[in-house]
Amino acid sequence: MAMLDRKLVRDLRRLWAQGLALALVIAAGVAVIIIAVGASRSLEETRAAFYERYRFASIFATATRAPLHLNAEIARVPGVAASEPRIVQPVLLDIVGMREPATGIAVSIPDRGGQRVNQLYLRQGRLPEPGRRGEVAVVETFASAHGFAPGDRFSAIMNGRKRELTIVGIVLSPEYIYAIGPGDLVPDNRRFGVLFMSREALAGVFDMDGAFNNVVATTLLHADTRRVIEAVDALLEPYGGTGAHARKDQMSHAFLDSELTQLDAMARIIPPIFLFVSAFLVNMILSRMIALEREQIGLLKAVGYYDLSIGWHYAKLAIAISLVGLLIGAAAGTWAGRGLTRLYSDFFSFPFLIFRSSFDLYLLAGGIAIAAALAGAARSILSILSLPAAVAMRPPAPTRYRSLLGERRGLTLFSQMTVMALRHLLRWPVRSALTTLGTSLSVALLITALFTYDAIDAMIDTIYFKAERQDATLTFASERAPDAVDSAAALPGVLRAEPYRATPVILRNGHLERRLSITGLPERGDLARILDLDLNPLAPPPSGLMLNDRVARLLNVRTGDHVTVEFLERGHVTRELTVTGVVQNYVGLTAYMALDALDRALPEGPRVSGVRIRIDANELDAAYRQIKETPAIASITLLGLSRQHFRDTIAENITIMTTVYVLLGVIITFGVVYNSARIQLSERARELASLRVLGFTRMEVSSVLLIELAIIVVAAQPLGWLLGYGFAFAVAKGFESDLFRFPLVVSDATFARASLVVLFSGLVSALAVRRRVDHFDLVAVLKTRD
C-alpha cells in the first residue's frame, strides 16, 4: 500500500467517531433513496407486469342495462383490443361471527371462452363453473381476513334474497389490487369483499339475462383513449350509460398512483436534506483536518508530491467515509425497503411483490452520495493548491478575532467564558450559520414526521366528526323515489334519516374537465354537513353548486364563476351552474348541491341514492336483521367502524414512519453537533488547556465549549420550526392526489416535541465531547504547536 494510503487508513481510524457520525448522515440519505426509489420501482413494475399479463382494462363503463349484442359493436370501436360485458352488482354479505353486514361486489365471469379482460389470478382452487349459482371465487384479502379456504361457505343477500355461497376459488384481480369498500378511507378486508360468479348464475339472480351493466375493454397500443371513450359513450347512452372512464379514474389504479406519488415526493424531499448536511460536514471535517495538517501538506509538497496527488489523498478520505455511509445506507435501505414492501402486501394484492433493489440503484445512490461528499470537500481541497510549500511549513498566524458589538463601549454583559464562545462563533460566521442550519434541519425533519399525526387527527376530526355525523350510510342498489327515506326511517332504532343523491357528472371550465360525482344534500340536514375552508358548516346552496378546493383548483374556478355540468345519467343533460362556494374536504373530488336543486336539474325528478341514519345502539341487531332483508339496500357503511379502522391502519403506518424519521433527525443532530464540538475542541485545545493551567476548573473550561454549542442549538430551533413548517407544506403538497389531501396542521406539541428531541440529542453529543476536556493531557497539549 502506498504510504499516503497508509496515512489515510490511520487518519480514518483516528477520526472514526466523527467519520461515523458523518457516514450515518450519508447512510440516511442513501437509505431513503433506496427505500423510496426501490419501493416505487417495485410497485410500478409489479403493477405493470400484473396489468399486462392479466389484461387489465384501459376503459371502464357502466350502464343500467345494455343488450349483450352491443358488446360486438364496442369491440369494433377503433382502438379497442378486446371488450368484455359484465354484470357488476353490490351485495350485502352475512358472515358467521360478524354482527354487522359486510358489503361486497359481485362480478360476473364469462361462462364460455374465458376472460379476455381483467383476468383473474387463481391463488387456490378453481373458478366457478358455468351456471352454478352457489359457487363463488373471492379475492384473497377478503378470504384471509376471514380465514376462508375453498370449501368454506358464507351467505350473501343478493337482490333481496339470502343465498348460500360456497367458495371454490381464491383469486387476485388486477382490478382490485387495492380493494376499498364504499365510504371507507382505507381497505377493510373484513367488511369488504369482491366475489366472482358465473355470468349465467348472476344474470339469473339479478334478472340480467341477455344483458350487461358494466363493460371493460383493453385498447391497442397508441389508441386514442379519448376517442374510444366517446365512441363507447355513444353506444351505451341509450342504455343508461353513465360515461366511460380511463384508468386514472379507476379506484385501485388511482390509489396505487397516489402511493407512487408519495414515494416520489419522499425521494425528492428527504435525500437532498441529508446530502446537503453531509456535504457541509465533509467540508467542516476536511477544512479542519487540512488546517491541522498544513505542515504535513507543505512537507509533501517540499519532497515533491504534486498538488493533484495531495488533493486526491484528501478526496479519498471523503470518498472512503461516503463508501462506509453507502454500505450502511444500502444495507439499511434494503432492509427497510423489504419491510415497506411487506407492509404494502397488506394493502395491495399482487400475485407477488418483491422489493426491487437492482445494482443500478445502489450505483445511483452511491454516485449521489460521493458527489455530495466531494462537493463538500472541494473548497478545502482547492485550498491545498493555493498553499505554497514554503508557507505551509510555517504554522498559521494566530486567528484574528473581532471585538463584539458593545464591548468597545465598555459593556461587560457577559463573563469572559461567554465572550470567548461568542467571539469564536462570530469568527467563523459561515460555519456557525451552517452548523445552525444543519441542526435546524433535524428539527425540521422531526416536524415533518410528527406533523402527520396532527394532519391525520385533523382529517379524522373533519371527516368523521364535523362533516359526516351519521352512524351509518345506507346505499340503494339504484336510485329510488323519495319515499324510500321513510322505509329507512322505519327501521328499528333509527332516530333520524336524511336522504342524499349522488350522480356522476363531468364538470367543465373551458378545456379543463373533471369527472366526479355531485352530492345533493337536504337543505336542513344535520347528519352530512358541508364545511367551508375554515371548517365551519354551511347550508347547501339553494341554487348553483359548491366545489371542494381541489376541484376548484383543477378547474381553475372561484366563487361566482360558472361551470358546465354534464350529467352522465339518463339523457346526458348539460347545465350551466354557478359556483357558490369553495369548500374543504380532504378526501376525493366532491361537489355539492341542494337536493332540491339537483332534483330540478335532472329530468327524472326527485330521487335518492341512499340515506344517512342516526341509530340507537341498542337496536342495532334488529336493524341489521331488517337491512339484510331489504332488497333495495345494496350496502351499509358504519362510520364508527370505518373511523376505528382508519385510525388503526394509519396509526400503525405512521408509527413506523415516525420512528424512522426520529431516528433520521437524531442522526443529523448527532452528526452536526458532535462534529462541530470535536472541531471546536481541536481548534481550541491549547486555549482550553491554558485555561486549565491558569486554574479554571474542568466545568468552567468546558462551559466555553458548551455555551457555543448551546447558542447554536437554541438558535436552530426557531429556524427549524420555520423550515419544518415549510417541509410539512411540501409534504402535504407532494402527497396530494385526487384521493387524499393532507391538511397542513402543525400543533404546538409537534414543534415542542421536535425541539425536545433535538435539544436532548444535542446535549448527549456535547457531553460526549466534554468528556474529552476532562481527559486533557495538559503538558502534551501545550507542548505541541497549534
Residues in contact with other proteins by the rule CB under 8 A: 2-4, 6-7, 10-11, 14, 295-296, 298-307, 388-390, 393, 785
In the complex with other proteins, the residue whose CB is nearer, 82 or 291, is 291
In this structure, are residues 132 and 126 in contact, taking their beta carbons and an 8 Å threshold? no
In the complex with other proteins, the residue whose CB is nearer, 4 or 98, is 4
In a 13 Å sphere around the CA of 92, the CA atoms on its Cβ side amount to 28
> H helices within 293-415, ranges in order?
294-302, 307-347, 359-385, 389-392
Task: Give the whole-angstrom CA distance, residue 444 versus residue 438.
Answer: 10
Identify the DSSP state of 351: S
In the complex with other proteins, the residue whose CB is nearer, 4 or 710, is 4
- In one-letter notation, the amino acid at residue 338 is R
In this structure, are residues 35 and 656 in contact, taking their beta carbons and an 8 Å threshold? no
In the complex with other proteins, the residue whose CB is nearer, 1 or 430, is 1
Task: Give the whole-angstrom CA distance, residue 181 versus residue 192.
Answer: 5
Mention every residue, 6+ apart, whose C-beta is less than 8 A from residue 462.
531, 535, 584, 586, 743
In the complex with other proteins, the residue whose CB is nearer, 295 or 549, is 295
Cite the beta strand spans of 642-750 per DSSP E.
none
Task: Give the whole-angstrom CA distance, residue 328 versus residue 334.
Answer: 10
Task: Give the whole-angstrom CA distance, residue 183 versus residue 528.
Answer: 13
The pairing of beta strand 590-594 with beta strand 512-521: parallel
In the complex with other proteins, the residue whose CB is nearer, 656 or 681, is 681
In the complex with other proteins, the residue whose CB is nearer, 68 or 389, is 389
Classify burial at 427, counting beta carbons within 10 Å of its beta carbon; exposed 0-12, middle 13-18, buried 19 or more.
middle
In the complex with other proteins, the residue whose CB is nearer, 11 or 140, is 11
In the complex with other proteins, the residue whose CB is nearer, 4 or 656, is 4
SS3 645: helix
Least Å from the CB of residue 300 to other proteins = 8
In the complex with other proteins, the residue whose CB is nearer, 391 or 490, is 391
Task: Give the whole-angstrom CA distance, residue 213 versus residue 226.
Answer: 21
In this structure, are residues 568 and 243 in contact, taking their beta carbons and an 8 Å threshold? yes
Least Å from the CB of residue 397 to other proteins = 10
In the complex with other proteins, the residue whose CB is nearer, 317 or 456, is 317
In the complex with other proteins, the residue whose CB is nearer, 3 or 779, is 3
What are phi and psi for residue 676, nearest 5 degrees? -65, -40
Task: Give the whole-angstrom CA distance, residue 725 versus residue 719.
Answer: 10
SS3 329: helix
Least Å from the CB of residue 390 to other proteins = 4
- In one-letter notation, the amino acid at residue 230 is E
- Torsion angle of alpha carbons 166, 172, 173, 178, nearest 10°? 110
Least Å from the CB of residue 374 to other proteins = 23
In the complex with other proteins, the residue whose CB is nearer, 59 or 297, is 297
The pairing of beta strand 153-158 with beta strand 574-584: unpaired
Least Å from the CB of residue 415 to other proteins = 35
In the complex with other proteins, the residue whose CB is nearer, 4 or 460, is 4
Least Å from the CB of residue 307 to other proteins = 8
Task: Give the whole-angstrom CA distance, residue 664 versus residue 12.
Answer: 24
Least Å from the CB of residue 317 to other proteins = 12
Q: Alpha carbon 679 to chain centroid distance?
A: 38
Least Å from the CB of residue 423 to other proteins = 23
Least Å from the CB of residue 378 to other proteins = 20
Least Å from the CB of residue 7 to other proteins = 5
Mention every residue, 6+ apart, whose C-beta is less than 8 A from residue 324.
19, 20, 23, 26
- Torsion angle of alpha carbons 83, 87, 91, 94, nearest 10°? -90
Query: Is the four-CA dihedral 542, 547, 548, 549 of positive or negative sign?
Result: negative
Least Å from the CB of residue 313 to other proteins = 11
In the complex with other proteins, the residue whose CB is nearer, 389 or 506, is 389
Least Å from the CB of residue 315 to other proteins = 18
> H helices within 77-177, ranges in order?
140-146
What are phi and psi for residue 183, nearest 5 degrees? 80, -5
**305, three cell numbers:** 508530491
The CA-based angle 576-580-584, given to 5 degrees, is: 120
Least Å from the CB of residue 389 to other proteins = 4
